[in-house]
Amino acid sequence: MDVGILHKKISRITKSSEKWKLKQQDIFLKRISELLQEGFSLSDGLRFLQVMMVKEKNDIQKIINEMEAGNSFPTSLHLLGFSEQLIVQLQFSMIHGNFIETLQFCSEHISIKQKQIKQFQKIAIYPMFLLGLATMMLFAIRQFLLPTIRNSTSTDSKTTIFLIFFLSYFPQILLIILSIIWIIILLWRVKFKKKSAYDQAVSLERIPLFGKWYKDYYTFFFSREFAYSLLSGQSIYQIIEMMEAEPTNSLIIEVATKLSKDLKSGENLPTIITSIPFFREEMTWIIYHGQLTSQLGIKLKIYSQECYRILLADIEKKINWLQPILFLIIGLIIISIYGILMLPMLSMMRGV
């Protein structure tokens, strides 16, 4: 199928539909995989799910209609707001024959994602509440106590001058900081969108702290798809042709094009992988060793599982870092507020 036509179909489908919540997506994929394991065909499984998932009956009917109109099942999932990455994995799995396993994996991935979101909310909600409260206190101090602080303190101290200036112009300072952050993000997004998908991936991989997530994910995704395709009997060249022709993700097309071009120019696969900055370095050695022992498929499969484990562990680690950092910021703000409130008393004590 032509990639441009596929994009148009997905765009048309997405515009006319409401997105499902992650919980609904998880249940849907889990149940359809269970039905397929029991011997149901995909169309029969979807019709049976209309009975099991009464609230989603009309949405499932839309998927059935799209499939009857010639769209694939993964493509039709854009209808429900499934992510492009998940759809691409399902699209490939229908080619290399691990469709049920991929459905189960995607269901588990969504379930893990839900847990991480809940964990993030649980960790962040109280510190964010305190941060908002501290900000309101600064506004209240500025509104009601600033005149008293000005009249009762000496302006000889640089600290006093700074605090009075900060309180006097706190709204403007806050607005300027937020505006600068917004402008930086806006300019970055404009510049980012002008880049090719390949260059976008390189940029994401370079983001401090979070760039590692993209590198882990891209390595996991490509090693997993190569592994399953090799284990299904496809050659490297057949896999590259499949990636160039099938996916809805332009990054996959560009990576496949680079692989094809470099292989035709005489370079070997490990060397090419080394030149792609958003792949982990170990992937080169896994491919080299796998080719040497004629076990490339199974080694890439095991390696992809390890990359996925590392990715989840790092996300978990950084989420757990968030709360202490937020509390540290809040603590500094509260100490500053306490210092501001004590300033008139300290000035009076000096004058005694």
**Model pLDDT for residues 265-322, shown as the tens digit of each residue:** 989 999 999 999 999 999 999 999 998 888 999 999 999 999 999 999 999 898 888 8
- Per-chain mean pLDDT for the chain: 85
What is the predicted pLDDT for the residue at 349? 59
Which pLDDT score is estimated for 11? 44
pLDDT (tens digit per residue) in 138-167: 888 778 777 776 776 655 567 667 777 777
Q: Give mean pLDDT, residues 12-23.
A: 66
What band does 183 get if pLDDT is binned at 50, 70 and 90?
very high
Under 8 Å between Cβ of 22 and 115: no
pLDDT above 60 for 352: no
Q: How far apart are CA 89 and CA 96, in angstroms?
A: 11
DSSP assignment letter at 81: T
Residue 298: the pLDDT is 93
CB 47 within 8 A of CB 30: no
How far, rounded to the nearest angstrom, does the alpha carbon of residue 63 sit from its chain's CA centroid?
Answer: 26
All residues at 6 or more sequence positions from 298 whose CB lies less than 8 Å from its CB, including other chains: 227, 231, 290
Structure tokens at 304: 């992809």
Give the per-residue pLDDT at 156.
Answer: 59
- 3-state DSSP of 292-313: HHCCHHHHHHHHHHHHHHHHHH
| In the chain, domain spans | 3-82, 86-352
Q: What pLDDT score does 5 carry?
A: 46
Which pLDDT band, with edges at 50, 70 and 90, does 18 fall under?
confident
- DSSP classification of residue 248: S
Q: Return d(Cα 323, Cα 231) in angstroms, integer.
A: 43
Q: Which residue has the higher pLDDT, 146 or 53?
A: 53
pLDDT band for position 17 (cuts 50, 70, 90): low
Per-residue pLDDT, 246: 66
Q: Within 16-98, where are the H helices? A: 22-37, 42-52, 57-68, 73-76, 84-96
**What are the CA-CA distances from residue 245 to residues 1, 65, 185, 220 (Å)?**
7, 24, 34, 21
CA–CA dist 120, 346 (Å, integer) = 41
Q: pLDDT band for position 335 (50/70/90)?
A: confident
Helix (H) or strand (E) holding 173: helix 170-194
pLDDT of 343: 66
Q: According to the model, what pLDDT value does residue 273 have? A: 93
Q: Give me 249's structure tokens.
A: 């993700």
223 vs 103: CA distance, rounded Å = 18
